[in-house]
Structure 1
Amino acid sequence: MTDRIQPPPAQRARAALSGIYLKFLSRNGGLVALVVLLLINVAITPNFLQMQTLFVNISQVATIAIVAVGMTLVIATAGIDLSVGAVMAVAGALAPLIFLSDFAQANPTLGLTAAIVVPILVALLCGLFNGVLVAYLGVQPIIATLIFFISGRGIAQVLTNGNLQTFTHPGFSYLGTGKILGLPFQGWLVVAIALVAWLMVNRTMYGRRILAVGGNEKAARLTGTPVRRVKIGVYVISAGLSGLAGLIVVAINSASDAARIGVLMELDAIAAAVVGGTLLMGGKAPIFGAILGAVIIQLVKYTLLANGVADEVALIAKAGIIVLAVYVQQGRKE
């Protein structure tokens, strides 16, 4: 039996360095991509370092990040939620209807409360609908959420008769235009949501159950994990966060357009989650990674648009980012 011929030392050294390099990229690819995007924008994008540009990007990325947190939890159970944009549209349609009602006009404080609470409660019910289809009826997540993806926006347009709903209310507008310590309120809200979600995933029994269900559902059942309740919970959380994101969009614009709110948000949220390191087969929920992914998705879009590239090209770029992120994930498993 002959010994295997060993490659020359120089070749082994190059192979070792290549392995270290690829391992570093697989673990820190998001940060590397963010740094590269920032450097590119500093070099070629006019006025990128101005505070106004920062505020614009925080406002735009906040809704993606909020929805991406919920999407990350769903994907962590080996599911998917295609209904997030439609849920945003439904919540966004309800808010002005409540504000413009006689009840809200006669009771401004209660009207403000109702315009925030009721749409989010309805969003939670939408998530419950998705969760029941998945957990109790055994419908595949992509089909279950596709149902509301199709019907939800139609519901929103029926609620508004297809009309643009405009209104102004200082208290409600604070969701979209308020500032704390000079930074947009939405940015602080993203930080708070991400922190709560991270603590839930890493410090609570429910969080461990989410990862267990996504990692090995059969094993989770054998250990007594209430798989159905866990699945319903993540879809409810995802929908609730989507409803909140819809309210933020309405607050920024002081108007609700059911045909436009949340359009393609499912693409952005999935892309942010995957770029942030969420495994599509489940079992992992990197919450802050999803926030990083959302920032990258927004910066890609901003970089292209600020330099005169058509929005259609930005969509292609997002798709390319997803493909690249999935490829990197495959490399991590090898």
Structure 2
Amino acid sequence: MAKLDPTTMSATTSPAQEKQRTVFAGRWRSVIQGYGALIACVLLFILNCIFTPHFLSLQTVGLNLQQMSTIAIVAIGMTLVIATGGIDLSVGSVMAIAGVLAPLIFLHLDTTLGIILSFIAPLLIAAICGLFNGWLVARIRVQPIIATLILFIAGRGIAQVLTNGAGLPFTMPGFQWIGQGSFLHIPIQAYIMLALVGLFVLIVQRTTFGRYLQATGGNASAARLAGVPVTRTTWLAYGISGVLAGLAGLIVVALNSNSDPSSVGLNYELSAIAAVAIGGTPLIGGQARVFGTFVGALITQLIYTILVGNNVPQAVALVVNAIIILAAVYIQTQRRKA
């Protein structure tokens, strides 16, 4: 009687074992794809607690919230635009425009009315900028990356022309509370960010506009045939993105007590897109994961904190963020194949 080779026995698996392995691998893949960003966020938080000096101090927590809040606010608007199948490269320039309008208005109208207009007028102009982008995309049918590139270039130039290229010092307590104020040691802009995250999670998940938004990005032609107002939805998404960028610009100016058209909002479009990608919203459109975008913004901030807090050059932090974006896009690709 021939003896069985143990090596051969260990190398072969029964159909039941192979099925069990496949099910196990599929479950892990689902966990990574569905909760990968949240898991990464928890791990980064733990690593910061271990390796970053004074990470849990009130001062460090407040600083981190200040730095991530404006990115998260801009990224919420970017999420809506990307959900329609578009992109908004102009958010940084819109921030600069809103940021210079506030001090200019108050310099010419140093009253309570001036404070009110310093809030309202920049947000209205930012909304118009967003609607202009939406008009180019929805009506003129310009590719979103080209349509928003126009304002990306021209917008910062407009801001520089308004101030003759110089920064404007801006110290006005009635205005600066949105950037420098705090409640229970938590910066005011963090409360604004959390309120907006909650609001837009509800809008996307519970309203007709949220369904229209994702239908537009999923298949615009089919959405039109189904009665979805694709043009109006696209306009509104870009308009909201403009308003949120304008709000972020006001917060940055209030925080810094200065409006520099060359630096306000610089590279924010890249940070916002990174937060959206890391948070799980597909860059091809059709879905809007607002809470995921918030987690993505938190991840980028935690990466920056642990690297810079341990004397790693900021340039390395940018490279690490790029790698994480690449991983996020890869996970999205695998999710679509599954």
TM-score by length of 2: 0.93
| Greater C-alpha radius of gyration | 2
The 5 A counterparts of 1:20-169 are 20-101=27-108, 104-105=109-110, 108-169=111-172
Q: What do the CA deviations read for 1:85-143 (whole angstroms, capped 9, x no partner)? A: 01001111111111222xx22xx210101111111111011001101100000000000
Alignment equivalent of 1:292, drawn from 278, 291, 295: 295
Counterpart CA distance in 1 for 2:272 and 2:300 is 9
Q: What do the CA deviations read for 1:183-226 (whole angstroms, capped 9, x no partner)? A: 21111111111122122112221111111101111111001111
Counterpart CA distance in 1 for 2:53 and 2:184 is 26
Q: What residue number does 2:201 align with?
A: 198
Counterpart CA distance in 2 for 1:203 and 1:329 is 24
Q: CA deviation at 1:17?
A: 2.4
Counterpart CA distance in 2 for 1:258 and 1:297 is 25
Q: What do the CA deviations read for 1:237-288 (whole angstroms, capped 9, x no partner)? A: 0010000000000000010111111111111101111111101111111111
Counterpart CA distance in 1 for 2:186 and 2:42 is 22
- Structure 2 unpaired stretches of 5+: 1-11
Counterpart CA distance in 1 for 2:107 and 2:317 is 36
2:207 counterpart letter in structure 1: T
Counterpart CA distance in 1 for 2:22 and 2:57 is 44
Counterpart CA distance in 2 for 1:203 and 1:38 is 31
2:191 counterpart letter in structure 1: W
The 5 A counterparts of 1:245-284 are 245-284=248-287
Contact 2:48-2:305 within 8 A present in 1 as well? no
1:97 counterpart letter in structure 2: L
Q: Secondary structure at the match of 2:140?
A: coil
Q: CA deviation at 1:311?
A: 1.7
Q: 4+ runs of 1 displaced by more than 3 Å?
A: 6-16
Alignment equivalent of 1:221, drawn from 221, 224, 236: 224
Q: What do the CA deviations read for 1:21-52 (whole angstroms, capped 9, x no partner)? A: 22111110011111111111111111111111
Counterpart CA distance in 2 for 1:49 and 1:23 is 32
Counterpart CA distance in 1 for 2:44 and 2:300 is 10
Q: How many residues align?
A: 326
2:261 counterpart letter in structure 1: A
Further displaced range: 55-64 or 20-29? 20-29
1:306 counterpart letter in structure 2: G
Percent identical: 51
Counterpart CA distance in 2 for 1:310 and 1:154 is 30
Alignment equivalent of 2:238, drawn from 232, 235, 238: 235
Counterpart CA distance in 2 for 1:223 and 1:31 is 35
Alignment equivalent of 2:315, drawn from 297, 312, 315: 312
Counterpart CA distance in 1 for 2:174 and 2:13 is 70
Q: What residue number does 1:3 align with?
A: none
User: What RMSD, in angstroms, separates the aligned Cα atoms of the two structures?
Assistant: 1.5
Q: Secondary structure at the match of 2:223?
A: helix
Q: What residue number does 1:178 align with?
A: 181
Q: CA deviation at 1:11?
A: 5.1
1:134 counterpart letter in structure 2: V
Contact 2:52-2:305 within 8 A present in 1 as well? no
Q: Secondary structure at the match of 1:232?
A: helix
